[in-house]
Structure 1
Amino acid sequence: MDKIPMTVRGEKLLREELDVLMKRRPIISQAIGEARELGDLKENAEYHAAREEQGICEAQIRDIEYKLSVAQVIDVTKMQNTGKVIFGTTVTLIDVNTDEEVTYQIVGDDEADIKAGRISVNSPIARGLIGKMQDDEVTITTPGGAREFEIAEVAYI
């Protein structure tokens, strides 16, 4: 079983989500019990809705527990900043052609959110950056074509 990299923030969010789901379990069970008391289960919409909600909740709990069991939590704040781009670092890039500046944190697949500036370690940009150093110029092949960037800053935050 391969370990999947995850940031400290990502693990915390998963544990919080798991806690919420675990608190919903007894509420759903109670709803099933109440719906069962209403009579004929074949035509009892409340019962079927509660059972479906229970199935979804249990599937989500199993999914999160699995992700946590295979997670390799990486805390870059405890590492020495060598200027090298690794999983968890926050990288500021300058587009060589347009001078546009963008900042990304390299995170696990489940944590990726491009609007929040978090890109998956498996994305084309992250794969092109991993192992590079601050002040390097890199050419990254994206779905939109090749782009050249200068790595302006690598932060271990």
Structure 2
Amino acid sequence: MNDLKQYVSTEGLEKLKEELNYRKTVLRKEIAEKIGDAKELGDLSENFEYHDAKDQQGANESRIIELENLMHNLIIIDSQTGVNTIAVGSQFKTELADGTVKEFEIVGASEADPMNGKISNESPLGNKFLGLKIGEVAEIQTPGGAVTYKVVSIQ
């Protein structure tokens, strides 16, 4: 079992709970029915439907265990944290040297979605922003050179 603590928003926690509930109540039952139907077809040694359903069952049970372990190691992000300082859960705007404004939100690794501005607190970019205040600057090294972000607002 992995004891590494992970950050998650209340929305992210709800998604995890919904997935766990779905896998335990709906998907488990559907897979059990598939196994039962496949058993009725006779010889199990060459029964594709049976083996496929058993594989699905194994994958589902593995994910259930993974979700349960994850939920025991979560730290819920308080959306009110980081009003003056960037912290996990903060939403903030930055300005690049060319005047481009970029919006970010610091989230736990399991919720990261960089294409939509949700960056992990564990990522190099997210880690550089942690602890910054309005007006402070983060310099990030990229393959194309250094990029400077100035924090212009924190929500």
**Global fold match (TM > 0.5):** yes
Q: Structure 1 residue runs of 4+, over 4 Å off?
A: none
Q: Is the 8 A contact 1:125 1:141 kept in 2?
A: no
Where does residue 15 of structure 1 map in the other structure? 17
Matches of 2:150 and 2:118, distance apart in 1: 18
1:108 matched to 2:108? The reply is: yes
Q: For residue 41 of structure 1, report the CA deviation from its aligned partner.
A: 0.3
Matches of 1:145 and 1:45, distance apart in 2: 54
Q: Secondary structure at the match of 2:16?
A: helix
Alpha-carbon RMSD across the aligned residues, in angstroms, is 1.4
Aligned residues: 152
Matches of 2:72 and 2:138, distance apart in 1: 35
Q: Is the 8 A contact 2:82 2:89 kept in 1?
A: no
Matches of 1:67 and 1:122, distance apart in 2: 16
Structure 1 residue identity aligned to 2:124: P
Structure 2 residue identity aligned to 1:41: L
Where does residue 95 of structure 1 map in the other structure? 96
Where does residue 54 of structure 1 map in the other structure? 57
Matches of 2:66 and 2:21, distance apart in 1: 13
1:69 matched to 2:72? The reply is: yes
- Equivalent pairs: percent with the same residue? 32
Q: Is the 8 A contact 2:138 2:150 kept in 1?
A: yes
Matches of 1:72 and 1:138, distance apart in 2: 26
Structure 1 residue identity aligned to 2:7: P
Where does residue 86 of structure 1 map in the other structure? 87
- The answer for unaligned runs of 5 or more in structure 1 is none
Q: Is the 8 A contact 1:95 1:147 kept in 2?
A: yes
Q: Is the 8 A contact 2:96 2:150 kept in 1?
A: yes
Matches of 1:68 and 1:134, distance apart in 2: 33
Q: Is the 8 A contact 2:7 2:75 kept in 1?
A: yes
Structure 2 residue identity aligned to 1:14: L
Q: Secondary structure at the match of 1:63?
A: helix
Cα deviation, 1:52-97, whole Å, max 9, x if unaligned, reads 11011111111111111100112223x472x20000101211002x
User: Normalising by structure 1, what TM-score?
Assistant: 0.90
Structure 1 residue identity aligned to 2:89: G
Q: Secondary structure at the match of 1:76?
A: coil
Matches of 2:4 and 2:53, distance apart in 1: 36
Q: Is the 8 A contact 2:137 2:150 kept in 1?
A: yes
Matches of 1:151 and 1:125, distance apart in 2: 13
- The answer for unaligned runs of 5 or more in structure 2 is none
Where does residue 33 of structure 1 map in the other structure? 36
